[in-house]
Structure 1
Amino acid sequence: MTTFGNLEDTDIDVAIDEQEAGERRSMELATRIRMVAAEDPELAQDLVDELIVALDRAMGGTFREYLDGDARDVADRALTDSGSDNSPARDS
């Protein structure tokens, strides 16, 4: 890694395409949620639950279809707790 003044070459973040830009934004979001979790795990869980509910709503109730294992269990709990468990995907 090369340092130029206060700028490191790893600080230069130029997205090649929209998919890569989206992946980088999602990684940044995950990092921020981890930082919140280190300070306040309950708040971090609430944020994750709200995000799951919003994603499920935006995807027409199909978000959980893209998950498996523990991630699906977490989504099921969040959606049930929010009253969103009547999505079409719940019947699968």
Structure 2
Amino acid sequence: MTTFGQLEDTDIDIAIDENEAGERRGMELAARIRMVAAQDPELAQDLVDELIAALDRAMGGTFREYLDPAERDLTESGSGISPAQNS
């Protein structure tokens, strides 16, 4: 029997439904943002701010309702994106 190394769950590509595929893409995006944050935290924050603004526009201004209250405060206080950037 030949051993090819250890397999991770992410190494096995299995059929998944649309919800699971979306969750997987979201987890991959979060991992990539974490990698950017390790190298350049300010750039990572800018990316997150732009992503939130784009999602908010795409959802007709309702995306912020899905954020935790503390996150919502950050995006509205100037620590993250401002509501003016959202339009």
What band does the TM-score fall into relative to the shorter chain? Answer: 0.7 to 0.9
User: Structure 2 regions of 5+ residues with no counterpart?
Assistant: none
> Is 1:69 aligned to residue 69 of structure 2?
yes
C-alpha distance 48-9 of structure 1, shift in aligned 2 (>3 A): closer
Pick from 73, 78, 83 the counterpart of residue 80 of structure 1. Answer: 83
Q: Higher strand fraction: Structure 1 or Structure 2? A: 1
Q: What TM-score do the two structures reach when normalised by structure 2?
A: 0.79
* 1:62-89 alpha-carbon deviations (Å, 9 max, x no partner): 111111222212332414251x27xxxx
Are residues 1:41 and 2:41 paired? yes
Number of aligned residue pairs: 82
Structure 2 counterpart of 1:28, which letter?
E
Are the counterparts in 2 of residues 37 and 44 from structure 1 also a CA contact under 8 Å?
A: yes
Deviates more, 1:48-57 or 1:63-72: 63-72
The list of structure 1 runs, each at least 4 consecutive aligned residues, that deviate by more than 6 angstroms after superposition, is none
Q: State the TM-score, normalized to the length of structure 1.
A: 0.75
How far off its partner does 1:9 sit? 4.8
